[in-house]
Structure 1
Amino acid sequence: MINKHILDFNENLIGLRDFVELIDPFLNEKLEEHDQHLQPLILSAMLKEVLTNPQDFEQEDKEKYTEFQQKLTKDLEAKYSEIPDVIIDKKEDGEQKKYSIKIANTNSEVSKHLDNVAKNRSHIELLYTNSLISTLSSVEWFFSQLLHFFYDKHPESAGVQKRTMTLTELKSFGSIEDAEKYLIDVKIDEILRGNFESWLNLLKTELSLGLGYLNDIMDELIEVYQRRNLFVHNGGIVNSIYLSKVNEKERNGISLNDKLTVDKEYLDNAICKLQKAFILIGAELWKKLSPEDTSRGDILGDIVYENLLHSRWEICEGLCYFSLKDSQIDPVDKVIAQINYWLCKKETGEYKSIEKEINKADFSDKKEIFQLGLFALRGETEKILETLPIVLETNQTNIERIEQFPLLREFRETEEYKTFKKESKFFKEKNKEVITPNKVEKE
Structure 2
Amino acid sequence: MEEQQPDSLEEIQAEINSSKPDFASEINKFIKHIESQADIVPIVMSLISLKLVQESRHVEQYIKDSGIIEKKKDESTDGDEPKQSKLLVPSDKFKGFIELTEKVDKTGLAYQLLPINFVVSFVSQYDAYLGGLIRTMFFAKPELLNGSEKNILFSELMKFASIEDAKEFLIEKEVESVLRESHLKQFKWLENKLGITLRKDLPSFSDFIEITERRNLFVHCNGVVSRQYIDVCRENEVKNIDEIKVGEQLSAKPEYFNKCYQILFEIGVKLGQVTWRKLIPDEIEKADAHLNNVCYQLLIKGHNRLALKLLTFATDTIKKHADQEMVCIFTINKALAHYLSNKKEECKKVLEKHDWSATNDKYKLAIAVLKEESEDAIKLMKSIGSTSKDVTKDAYREWPLFREFRKTDTFKTAYVEIFEEEFIYVEPKPKNLEDIVSEMQQLKKEALEVREKENTAPNGDSE
TM-score range, shorter chain: 0.7 to 0.9
- What is the match of residue 319 of structure 1? 310
Once the 2 structures are TM-superposed, how far is the Cα of residue 257 of structure 1 from its aligned partner? 2.0
1:174-185 aligned within 5 A:
174-185=161-172
Q: Does 1:142 align with 2:129?
A: yes
Once the 2 structures are TM-superposed, how far is the Cα of residue 234 of structure 1 from its aligned partner? 1.3
- What is the match of residue 282 of structure 2? 292
- What is the match of residue 169 of structure 1? 156
- Give the counterpart of 2:257 among 267, 271, 276: 267
Give the secondary structure class of the aligned counterpart of 2:282: coil
Q: Does 1:384 align with 2:377?
A: yes
- Give the counterpart of 2:241 among 236, 248, 251: 251
Between the aligned partners of 1:169 and 1:77, the Cα distance in structure 2 is: 71
Residue by residue over 1:224-275, the C-alpha shift from the partner in whole angstroms, topping out at 9 and shown as x without a partner, is: 0001111111122212211211136243543222222112211111111111
- Give the counterpart of 2:296 among 305, 316, 322: 305
Amino acid at match of 2:374: T
Give the secondary structure class of the aligned counterpart of 2:176: helix
CA RMSD of aligned residues (A): 3.8
Give the secondary structure class of the aligned counterpart of 2:197: coil
Q: Does 1:372 align with 2:365?
A: yes
Change in 2 beyond 3 A, CA 1:192/1:361: closer
- Is the CA contact 1:238–1:257 (under 8 Å) kept in the aligned structure 2? yes
Gaps of 5+ in 2: 1-21, 426-463
Between the aligned partners of 1:208 and 1:401, the Cα distance in structure 2 is: 41
Change in 2 beyond 3 A, CA 1:121/1:105: farther
Give the secondary structure class of the aligned counterpart of 1:23: helix
Between the aligned partners of 2:84 and 2:332, the Cα distance in structure 1 is: 51
Between the aligned partners of 1:88 and 1:251, the Cα distance in structure 2 is: 41
Amino acid at match of 2:271: I
- Give the counterpart of 2:183 among 175, 181, 196: 196
Q: Does 1:27 align with 2:48?
A: yes
Q: Does 1:217 align with 2:210?
A: no
1:96-175 aligned within 5 A:
104=87, 106=89, 114-159=101-146, 163-175=150-162
- Is the CA contact 1:132–1:267 (under 8 Å) kept in the aligned structure 2? yes
Between the aligned partners of 1:298 and 1:162, the Cα distance in structure 2 is: 36
- What is the match of residue 438 of structure 1? none
- What is the match of residue 428 of structure 2? none
Give the secondary structure class of the aligned counterpart of 1:232: helix
Q: Does 1:227 align with 2:214?
A: yes
Once the 2 structures are TM-superposed, how far is the Cα of residue 160 of structure 1 from its aligned partner? 6.2
- Is the CA contact 1:292–1:328 (under 8 Å) kept in the aligned structure 2? no
- Is the CA contact 1:28–1:124 (under 8 Å) kept in the aligned structure 2? yes
Amino acid at match of 1:311: G
- Is the CA contact 1:160–1:180 (under 8 Å) kept in the aligned structure 2? no
- What is the match of residue 337 of structure 1? 330
Structure of greater relative contact order (alpha carbons < 8 Å, 6+ residues apart): 2
Q: Does 1:207 align with 2:194?
A: yes
Once the 2 structures are TM-superposed, how far is the Cα of residue 134 of structure 1 from its aligned partner? 1.5
Identical pairs, percent? 22
Once the 2 structures are TM-superposed, how far is the Cα of residue 143 of structure 1 from its aligned partner? 1.0
Q: TM-score, normalised by structure 2?
A: 0.72
Amino acid at match of 2:326: D
Q: Does 1:81 align with 2:72?
A: no
- Give the counterpart of 1:279 among 256, 269, 275: 269
- Is the CA contact 2:334–2:350 (under 8 Å) kept in the aligned structure 1? no
Between the aligned partners of 2:81 and 2:409, the Cα distance in structure 1 is: 48
Q: Does 1:2 align with 2:23?
A: yes
Residue by residue over 1:293-318, the C-alpha shift from the partner in whole angstroms, topping out at 9 and shown as x without a partner, is: 21112111111011112332343223
Change in 2 beyond 3 A, CA 1:430/1:257: same
Once the 2 structures are TM-superposed, how far is the Cα of residue 167 of structure 1 from its aligned partner? 3.1
- Give the counterpart of 1:428 among 414, 422, 430: 422
Between the aligned partners of 1:259 and 1:303, the Cα distance in structure 2 is: 36
Change in 2 beyond 3 A, CA 1:184/1:104: farther
Give the secondary structure class of the aligned counterpart of 1:259: coil
Gaps of 5+ in 1: 42-74, 432-443
Once the 2 structures are TM-superposed, how far is the Cα of residue 128 of structure 1 from its aligned partner? 1.4
Once the 2 structures are TM-superposed, how far is the Cα of residue 17 of structure 1 from its aligned partner? 1.8
Change in 2 beyond 3 A, CA 1:356/1:224: closer
- Is the CA contact 2:72–2:83 (under 8 Å) kept in the aligned structure 1? no
- Is the CA contact 1:358–1:378 (under 8 Å) kept in the aligned structure 2? no
- Is the CA contact 1:238–1:256 (under 8 Å) kept in the aligned structure 2? yes
Between the aligned partners of 1:369 and 1:91, the Cα distance in structure 2 is: 73
Please, which moves more after superposition, 318-327 or 387-396?
387-396
Amino acid at match of 1:319: L
- Give the counterpart of 2:36 among 15, 26, 32: 15
Between the aligned partners of 1:397 and 1:100, the Cα distance in structure 2 is: 68
Between the aligned partners of 1:417 and 1:103, the Cα distance in structure 2 is: 65
Once the 2 structures are TM-superposed, how far is the Cα of residue 210 of structure 1 from its aligned partner? 3.2
